[in-house]
Amino acid sequence: MTLSKKIILITGGAGFIGSHLTRLFVNKYPGYQIVNLDKLTYAGNLENLKDIEGKPNYIFVKGDIEDMNMVKKLFTKYRFTGVLHCAAESHVDRSITDPLAFVKTNVLGTVSMLQVTKDYWKDNYKGKLFYHISTDEVYGSLRETGYFTEETAYDPRSPYSASKASSDHFVRAFYHTYHLPVIISNCSNNYGPFHFPEKLIPLCIHNIINNKPLPIYGKGLNVRDWLFVEDHVRAIDIIFHKGKPGETYNIGGHNEWKNIDIIKELCRQMDIKLGRKKGTSGKLITFVKDRAGHDLRYAIDATKLKKKLGWKPSLQFEEGLAKTIDWYLNNNEWLNDVTSGAYKTYYDKQYGL
């Protein structure tokens, strides 16, 4: 896309990745107008955006991506030239208990967004882009070797990944059928500040602080490929501005960890930071019933993004993890806020620990 004045709609900008993306765009591009549309579900939190809420190029709108009339009105009012579609139900465990919620938001919500965008842009697609933020989970589960490339066949295995795969297919269908300019990126596991403590790393940080058990599913041998969230949104920025419509880009840090090893490393670092005796936090590790249909391994081959667009991760994992832990230790109030109320009910039902 050319660097003319842009009016960008970010959906789900109050969530984990969305808030980092919104902050990056608002701060880096003062000439752009950024509108953040978010329903503020349990995962959306305006506290994540406190530092930019007064910026002149930033507007927040509370609303649901499935509400096509409201989204149409936003298009008419702001005349968006770009959409960064981040809003989603994002937690695999919740998709196992309530798959329909994932179909609603991730499939119906995405198709609603595509439909409104296409209708508004169809007379002039020039300089426009609908960017869909997706996940490596659409590719299914790897055994011990191999990587997901952009050519890997889709093989989603959880209700969450099935809903994201479906949304990806609709995005491509709008490209082929209506020529809507779209880009999809599929990223591996993110970690970093503002990560909701239902996900492995922030959940364990919260539990270590509070001396609570660290629930590890199965034997802890499942492998995830971890990327610092700021590196993910930097990649999105590069792809949004330099990527080719119709293309898909994989994003990943080449940073695979077995769950048990990552939690041991977390315990090691947190013992030091909390001034606890070596080995104290590790004693909290508790093996619990495995996740249903638990994917064994994800690993991204991000060669295309590196070679074609010059992106690479900026942080080594130990450094990123240390930054993340420090953020949670310095933001007790945020952690206490998001773990009060409905979180307790979710936690008891999910773990009963």
Residues acting as catalytic residues: 136-137, 160
15 part of the interface to ligand NAD, by CB under 6 A = yes
166 near ligand NAD, rule: CB under 6 A: no
Write the CA distances from 170 to 185, 270, 280, integer angstroms. 14, 43, 49
Residues 80/45, Cβ–Cβ less than 8 Å = no
- How would DSSP label each residue in 80-102? -SEEEE------HHHHHH-HHHH
Report 277-296 residues binding ligand DAU (CB under 6 A): 291
Binding site partner of 66, from ligand DAU, ligand NAD, none, Cβ cut-off 5-8 A by kind = ligand NAD
Q: Where is 184: in which H helix or E strand?
A: strand 182-187
- Per partner kind, with CB cut-offs from 5 to 8 A, the member of ligand NAD, ligand DAU, none near residue 193 is none
Q: Which of 24, 27, 41, 268 binds ligand NAD (CB under 6 A)?
A: 41
Residue nearest to ligand NAD (CB): 15
Q: What b/e sequence results for 322-353 when a residue is b if at least 16 CB atoms lie within 10 Å of its CB, and e otherwise?
A: eebbebbeeeeebbeebbeeebeebbeebbee
Whichever of 120 and 139 has its CB closer to ligand DAU, that residue is 139
What part of residues 116-155 is at the interface with ligand NAD (CB under 6 A)?
133, 135
**Per CB under 6 A, 192 contacts ligand DAU:** no
The Cα–Cα gap between 85 and 129 comes to 11
CA distance linking residue 29 with residue 237, whole number of Å: 11
* Contacts with 348 (C-beta within 8 Å, 6 or more apart), sequence order: none
Closest approach, Cβ 42 to ligand DAU, in A, equals 14
Which residues within the stretch 85-144 sit at the binding site for ligand DAU (CB under 6 A)?
A: 90-92, 135-137
Stretch that binds ligand NAD, among 123-131, 151-159, 182-190, 291-299 (CB under 6 A): 182-190
Three-state SS for 24-66 is: HHHHHCCCCEEEEEECCCCCCCHHHHHHHCCCCCEEEEECCCC
- The yes or no reply on residue 193 touching ligand NAD (CB under 6 A) is no
Residues that bind ligand NAD (CB under 6 A): 11-12, 14-18, 38-41, 43-44, 64-66, 86-88, 90, 105, 109, 133, 135, 164, 187, 189-190, 196
Residues that bind ligand DAU (CB under 6 A): 90-92, 135-137, 188-189, 199-200, 203, 215-217, 222, 224, 259, 291, 298
